[in-house]
Structure 1
Amino acid sequence: MISDDVWLVPAEWLPPEAEKTTDALAAGRVSADEADAMGYEQLPVSTGLSAPEMAVRAGLRALSRAGVPAGDLAAILHAWTYYQGHDFWSPAHHVAAGTGALGAVPTGIQQMCNGAAAALRAAVHHHAAHPGGAPVLVTTADRFAPPGFDRWGGDYGVWYGDGATAAVVGTGTPGRRGPGSGIPEGALALCALQTRAAPELETAHRDTGTFHPAPHTRSAAVDVRRTKKAFLAGHGKPRFLDRLRHETTAVLAAALAEAGIGSGGRRLTEVLLPRLGRATARDVYGPAVAEVTDAPLADLGERTGHLGAGDLLSNLTALAAETGPHRLEPGRYAAVLSAGAGFTWSAAVLRRA
């Protein structure tokens, strides 16, 4: 159970360059059927900055919006799914140094595409262990660059965009905001955060024949299609999709119960989905969410694609925006879903503070 005073201020940093779906179609990188199933317009592409460098930019943006000096942070929690620019180092420490959080304790969070939710969970636990303590900065960043990754064709039903997200997570006086309250203007209150896992499904992203001695030993580029194809041959796609729907329903139902949605007049304005495309929203998330709420669904990945570990915080950034179609109005509630290889599922419920 989350205490009623946890708030967060999210931000994102996306590279200005992008690759268009129309160009990928023309080049034969995707088929017309794949483009229709995804329904996305473009993918942001970092042509120069590494993932941790983008995380620094997102982190600084979140700190600025929250009005929190980097020197006041207690911890940095950095999550990612793919290569961070060096073979043997700690990207979390780079984010701490780059943001100026030299007194914070940096920690890497590795839970694949559920990494933002895992880092947010760790931040909540940190505040529970240190009541009234200093804020924590959560960051995510991924860059799916060649030759190691084919953002358009390396996976089934997922297109990968580059970018970074962040959130300052702190505690403050419930029911108050602005100067003197400890809660920044525009912050989101975290009302619930639930997570479920099914580790028996981890072979969907692993070659089961052997473990490899070094990255890219098996293939020059990451090939998620190879491992998923072998996994589905053994488990069956219908049974796998049923499991995805079941776990999504269960984790969302638990989060709504924790937040008291459905009681006392509390209702969701919408449910924001992981950015996995139109077909996944229709076949997995639509039926799963409909089991527990009639709130509308939204997939905000049209111009970002899947941001690796960053989908959840990017969605929170849309909720916290000053303007826009997904801005969460004061006193209203929204849910955000997250999922990652392993598998792990999370659901968060937010209220405009």
Structure 2
Amino acid sequence: MKLHSGLSLLATAWYPPKRQTVEAAIEAGHVDRRTAGDLGYTELPVSEDVAPPDMAVLAAHGLLGRSGCDPDRISLLFHASVHHQGHDAWSAPHYIADRLGAHSATPVALLQQCNGGAIGIELAAARLQGDTEAGPVLVTTGDRFLLPSWDRWLTDYGMAAGDGATAVVVHRDSSLPTDLVLHSIATAAASDLEVMHRGDDELNATPLGHSAMISVRRTKRAFVRDFGVDRFTKTAYDRIRSVVEESLADAGLAPDDPRLRYAVLPRLGAKAMRDAYIPPVAASTPAELLDLGTTTGHLGAGDLNASLAELAERNLLAPGQFAVVVNGGGGFTFTSVVVGVQER
């Protein structure tokens, strides 16, 4: 999406204080040493007591308080998640809006798998471009991955899941501060890859009807057996390269622009990123690759949004510098955003 002008972003992430180190997970038999080495994480945040929507409220409350943004000015609230939010047949985004006092916001749930937070930012940008009177848009994510329904180390290949939440405010209000400027966002889908998370299962009538614990490994084994791994890697390479190049072009940046400081990767395991993400990103730009997920793991719907928060909170970009932040999610959908820090 080419923006008429840059939009302001405020971003933060919230993590529970408890951590499970990789060494502790290996000693407890949760993961073997070889798999842990392929993942490359050092620890994962674990939330046993705080549900995902409450984590999102904590993240958003802190962000709104820091920025001075009145919750009642929020015009739209997107909440993205991957796993169970704490109740059935219920709306987590309405709960979040009510807890925040965002009573003028329209709450919307996003089920875009691991790309949900990124899509929320894209929809927020589209809303602000299409309605010049719209107030700030809040995008939250929140996920936790607990047994018996999800094994954070073994439910999926190529990643281990950390618990946490993010909050991003997208706005164009000069009275509010700016952490980062959003210059462009590009998304491409590969809907034929939805079968990777379905395998050869029939569509059933009840949750967890295929197995008591969610197993993405099982469906991916079926996909590889029927189609081969190259079907995914070739399609992913094409889509990732396409969105990175499109987002850079829409931001007015050449791939080798010296102001482009980083290309930020998703928070997947090291081997998965070497196989699927690093080749197309490196082919699209020589910018330095940045992996921010070694101490968080994969954050469900929140990877890209957490990386925006970390870019801002750690001051990783100097004024006048840019980063391209890349993400993907089952279905499949791939997104690339270009953000920068304003010149002083």
Shorter-chain TM-score range: over 0.9
Cα distance in 1 between the residues matched to 2:266 and 2:201: 30
Structure 1 pair 22/265, CA: closer, same or farther in 2 (3 Å)? closer
**1:74-223 to 2 correspondences below 5 Å:** 74-172=75-173, 181-184=174-177, 186-223=178-215
Name the stretch that deviates more: 238-247 or 290-299: 238-247
Q: Indicate the larger mover: 78-87 or 237-246.
A: 237-246
Q: Which amino acid aligns with 2:244?
A: L
Note the alpha carbon deviations across 1:100-120, whole angstroms, 9 max, x for none: 111211011110000011111
**Matches of 1:209 and 1:92 in 2, distance apart?**
30
Q: Distance in 2 between matches of 1:251 and 1:333?
A: 16
Cα–Cα, structure 1 residues 21 and 265, in superposed 2: closer, same or farther, change >3 Å? closer
Q: Which residue of 2 aligns with 1:291?
A: 283
Once residues 127 and 104 of structure 1 are traced to their aligned partners in structure 2, the CA distance between those partners, rounded to angstroms, is 14
The letter of the residue matching 2:90 is W
- Distance, in Å, in 2 between the alignment partners of 1:228 and 1:279 is 16
**Deviation per CA, 1:6-41, whole angstroms, max 9, x where unpaired?**
111001110001111111111222122111111101
- SS of the residue corresponding to residue 253 of structure 1 reads helix
Say whether residues 1:229 and 2:230 are aligned partners: no
Q: Could you give the per-residue CA deviations for residues 65-101 of structure 1, whole angstroms, max 9, x where no partner exists?
A: 3220101111111001111011110000011011111
CA distance in 1, matches of 2:256, 2:323: 16
Kept after mapping to 1: 8 A contact 2:256/2:285? no
Cα distance in 1, alignment partners of residues 4 and 79 from structure 2: 23
Deviation per CA, 1:133-153, whole angstroms, max 9, x where unpaired?
A: 210111000011111100001
Residue from 258, 266, 274 that aligns with 1:274:
266
Please report the TM-score for the alignment, with normalisation by the length of structure 2: 0.96
Contact 2:245 2:255 in 1 (8 A): no
User: In the TM superposition, what whole-angstrom CA distance separates every residue of 1:168-222 from its partner, at most 9, and x where no partner exists?
Assistant: 11014xxxxxxxx3341x4211001000001011010014341111111111111
Contact kept in structure 2, 1:12 and 1:61, CA below 8 Å = no
Point out the more displaced range, 196-205 or 281-290.
Answer: 281-290
Output the CA distance in 1 between the equivalents of 2:256 and 2:114. 34
State the number of aligned residues: 341
User: For residues 156 and 281 of structure 2, what CA distance do their matches in structure 1 show?
Assistant: 24
CA contact (8 A) 2:266 2:328 kept: yes
Counterpart in the other structure of 1:314:
306
Partner residue in 2 for 1:327: 316
Distance 2:186 2:110 in 1: 17
Partner Cα separation in structure 2 for residue 194 and residue 267 of structure 1:
20
Please tell me whether the aligned partners of residues 9 and 65 of structure 1 are also in contact (alpha carbons under 8 angstroms). Answer: no
Aligned equivalents of 2:258, 2:90: Cα separation in 1: 46
Q: Given the alignment of the two structures, is residue 259 of structure 1 paired with residue 251 of structure 2, yes or no?
A: yes
CA contact (8 A) 1:4 1:191 kept: yes
Gap change, CA 1:223 and 1:331, over 3 Å in 2: same
Matched residue SS, 1:2: strand
> The residue matched to 2:156 in structure 1 has which SS?
coil
Moved more, 338-347 or 35-44: 35-44
2:48 corresponds to which residue?
Answer: 47
Higher mean C-alpha deviation, range 20-29 or range 113-122: 20-29
SS in 2 for 1:4: strand
Query: Contact (CA 8 Å) 1:165, 1:313: kept in 2 or not?
Result: yes
Q: Secondary structure at the match of 2:162?
A: coil
Show structure 1 runs of 5+ residues with no match.
173-180
Rounded Cα–Cα distance in structure 2 between residues aligned with 1:313 and 1:209: 32
TM-score computed with the length of structure 1 as normaliser? 0.93
8 Å Cα contact 2:248-2:255 kept in structure 1? no
In the aligned structure 1, how far is the partner of 2:120 from the partner of 2:59? 15
Q: What's the % identity of the aligned pairs? A: 40
Match of 2:206, SS?
A: coil
Give the distance between the partners of 2:258 and 2:249, measured in 1 at CA. 11
SS at match of 1:302: coil
